[in-house]
Chains A and B, each alone.
Chain A
Amino acid sequence: MAVRSDPTRPALGRPPSPRGGGSARVLPGLIPGLVALAFIALLIGGAFVGLLVEAARNPAGAVSAFDTYLLRIAGFTLWQAALSTVLSVAPAIVVARALSRHPRFPGRAALLRLFSLPLALPAVVAALGMLALYGRAGFLAPLLGWFAGGDWPGIYGLSGILAAHVFFNLPLASRLLLEALDAVPDDRWRLASQLGMGPRAAFNLVEWPAIRVALPGAAGLIFMLCVASFTVVLMLGGGPGATTLEVAIYQALRFDFDPARAVALTLAQLVLTVAVIAMLARIGADPAREPNIAVSRRRFVAASTGETAANAAIILLAALFVAGPLAATVAAGLGADLTRLAGEASVQRAAVTSLALAALSAALAVTLTLALVLARAALEAARRRGADRSWLEFASDTGAGFVLVVPPVVIGAGWFILLRTIADVFVLAPVMVVTVNAVMAMPFVLRAVRPAHDAASARYDRLAEQLGITGWNRFRLVDLPPLRRPLATGLAFAMALSLGDLGVIALYGSDAVQTLPYLLLQRMGSYRTQDAAGLALFLGLLCLGLMLLADRLGRRASR
């Protein structure tokens, strides 16, 4: 298209006349997209207005809140993220290499599926699983205590945060690096085995170059996820020694009620995320990235017996590390009095609230995505006729992914500060949960929907134009039918994301509006650990089911 849209082409005779067909098609497609962009801008902009208004109201307070406490917390945020990244990525190199050396063994596909589970699980469930396994009263406490030579203190604070982050990100990093190794051309492997390269030479000459290319992207993505981690730090961190900026924002608003401090913390978090994003953009990482691994590759390398044994041990260890907390979640959940729990009115109410809010949020996410996809297509169609790529087209395309850089807690905090003087913020909980989660899910839904839409559009644009199928008819007869399945994928995915969210509801939750994650947090806070474990099992199964559904629908769609 770059050639076609050359704006410098000489105007021969007279300028191209605007055609009825062209302009009539552009406008109707554009309006929903503009509304969607305006909505997203309002949601994020409103949060910023809240912060600015508060800062202007009490500038001295905001400035004085930039104290050593804030610096220490900002430092801890970066420190734990850096450690989490190193602890996730370094072992992942070994794991990915072991998996790549053995492209076929029984259970390999199941193992890769297992590695995709942690990120599909709500953070609140995973954090609870870590506690159920490694906590002071966890399943492994006796064993770990024996190793430690005394009572096992449990994983709280930095160690807990790191363990949970590695649980999430080691499998992610392994999959990303394995994807990079799988992308090495078969011929290079053939050559390596033909030249008789041993494992070391093959690593230096074939594997490491591929890993090195993928490493910055994987590390950057994980660093960003850890900088913005809220739930894990809230549940496993503790005290001023192990608090990140996001959790500090939450504490400033919910416990200390210190808006000036919240403003300062939020600004610091924003500066941090923007810096991290700038770094990510520089190394070309994608915040909405998902690894895509072929199930098995042909085998060209014959590993020696010793290496095979070492690799088997590495793979087994990684599998145990990932499966452990999952199994602990199930075991602890089954240990809870599930029938009593299911009969409790508060649990039922929270379940209904959760499902309703998640469904609304998913519907909103899908609607926003659809509007943006159609707007982008309309803008591209207009551009083909000679215009430049506008900021609007960018905003409905790559730009949409940038909402991920604004942490949900920051948006929640901004509106919390803005609205607290004029309304009861806790009444707004449902609105905030639905809208913020919808906007956060949107980039992922976009990823499922856009390729399908663009493929259909490439096939049908001229046909529809020729037959005069425009506007609503085009949407109904041409655009929508091929998108049903990707939209269903997006819907299930967005619903799972929203169901498991603890960020916004932690700020806005109250006795009046409780979701399952919020209820879980409350039960933990009042030391009803068994109840929390039961809720976690239920929530985990629900989200996992939705994620699997999304995955299955997506697979069939791409066939």
Chain B
Amino acid sequence: MKSAGLAVTLDQAAFSYGGAPMLFDVRFEPGVITAIMGPSGSGKSTLLSLVAGFETPTAGRILIGDDDVTSTAPSARPVSMIFQENNLFAHLDAGANVGLGISPSLRLTDADRARIAEALSRTGLAGMETRLPGQLSGGERQRVSLARALVRDRPVLLLDEPFASLGPALRDEMIALLAEVQGERGMTVLFVTHQPEDARRAAARLVYVEDGRVGASGSSADMFGAAGPAAFHRYLGARPAK
């Protein structure tokens, strides 16, 4: 089961919460992890919301692959999303939370249950189907979310600072897991993060967002390199390039 990644394109997509207008014009390469970085309030999360369909652009188009999804409902887009928190329904156990990725009515066949068990064990949670989210650690909860993304099997995976509340060691583990899973499935991953290390370690490409637009983009190596864009380096601050 391999959901080949699709390119994600924001074609002059305009949006505003009533303040300064945002305008995104960017193409995300298919089948790779792209990190999205930028200052708080620069529009990173809005960009993901536009792709996920929680917000509709006031002008322009959103394309996934060759399909215009600008007015498609969030659940009908070929997209899964993992938020920073509240990815799980607290009253449903881990198995059911993953199962919702297969059936929104939670009517599951035995084959579905086998897939859930498999996804949970892929994310290191074998046998934890009946645990409630409250009984899991923060890292384990995000693993459940990732397992759900695996059973949903959509070509695009959006991550909105999913590991921000985890400690450094746990975050490293999760980044490694994400990179492995992406390698197996080949989906397109858009990954909003504040941590340059995350981007360096896992992302092939990097998009820098500033003031509601894309300030710079390129391969991670180029972006972090000494010849990378000045604005991005100002955002990173004075840190030695490795």
Residues of A bordering B, CB below 8 Å:
3-4, 6, 9, 11-14, 16-22, 24, 385, 459-460, 462-463, 465-470, 473, 477-478, 481-482
A473 — which chain B residues lie within 8 A by C-beta?
Answer: 104-106
Closest to A458 in B: B86
**Bitwise interface map of B from 208 to 223 toward A, beta carbon under 8 Å scored 1, else 0:** 0000000000000000
A17, B76: Cβ atoms under 8 Å? no
Min CB gap B58→A, angstroms: 4
Interface residues on B, range: 35 or more
> Is the Cβ of B56 less than 8 Å from the Cβ of A463?
no
Instruction: Tally A-B pairs: CB < 8 A.
Output: 98
CB–CB A470/B104 < 8 A: yes
Chain B, 53-110, CB within 8 A of any chain A CB: 53-54, 56-60, 70-76, 79-81, 83, 86-87, 89-92, 100-101, 104-106
Q: CB-nearest residue of chain B relative to A13? A: B59
Q: Which of B60, B73, B79, B81 contacts A24 (CB 8 A)?
A: B73
- Chain A to chain B contacts (Cβ below 8 Å), 27 pairs: A3-B19, A9-B16, A9-B58, A13-B14, A17-B70, A19-B56, A19-B72, A19-B73, A20-B73, A462-B52, A462-B83, A463-B83, A463-B86, A465-B74, A466-B54, A466-B74, A466-B75, A467-B101, A468-B75, A469-B75, A469-B104, A473-B104, A477-B89, A477-B105, A477-B106, A478-B89, A482-B91
Q: Which residue of A lies closest to B87 (CB)?
A: A463
CB < 8 Å neighbour of B58 from A16, A21, A459, A468: A16
B18 neighbours in A (Cβ, 8 Å): 3-4, 6, 9
Question: How far in angstroms is the closest Cβ of chain A from B67?
Answer: 15
- Across the A-B interface, the 4 shortest Cβ-Cβ residue pairs: A21-B73, A468-B75, A13-B59, A12-B59
Is B41 on the interface with A (CB-CB < 8 A)? no
Task: Note all chain B residues with C-beta closer than 8 A to A467.
Answer: 75, 100-101, 104, 152
Contacts of A470 in B (CB 8 A): 75, 104
Report the minimum CB–CB distance from B213 to chain A (whole Å).
14
Is B21 an interface residue, CB under 8 A from the partner? yes
Interface residue from B54, B60, B76 paired with A13 (Cβ < 8 Å): B60
Contact in complex: B58, A466 (CB < 8 Å): no
Residue ID in chain B nearest A16 by CB atoms? B56
Report Cα–Cα, A481/B53, bound state, in Å.
26
Residues of A near B17 (CB, < 8 A) are: 3-4
Q: Which residue of A lies closest to B15 (CB)?
A: A12
What is the minimal beta-carbon distance from A317 to any residue of chain B, in angstroms? 48
- Of B16, B70, B75, most A-chain CB atoms within 10 Å: B75
Interface pair B73/A482, CB less than 8 Å apart: no
Residues of chain B within 8 A of A6, CB atoms compared: 18
In B3-49, which residues have CB < 8 Å from any A CB? 14, 16-19, 21
Chain B residue contacts of A459, Cβ below 8 A? 86
| A21 contacts across to B, CB distance below 8 A | 53, 72-76
Chain B nearest CB from A255 CB (Å) reads 55
Q: Quick one: closest B residue to A4, CB to CB? A: B17
> Which residues on B sit within 8 Å (CB–CB) of A478?
89
Once the chains are docked, how many angstroms separate the CA of A467 from the CA of B80?
A: 8
- CB nearest to B75 among chain A residues: A468
Determine if B75 and A465 form an interchain contact, defined as CB atoms under 8 angstroms apart.
Answer: yes
CA distance A156 to B73 in the complex (A): 68
Query: Nearest chain A CB to B107's CB is how many angstroms away?
Result: 9
For A482, list chain B residues within 8 Å (CB): 90-91
> How far, in Å, is B95 (CB) from chain A's closest CB?
14
Q: Which residue of A lies closest to B158 (CB)?
A: A466
Contacts A4-B17, A16-B56, A477-B106 given; indicate if A468 touches B76 (C-beta within 8 A). yes
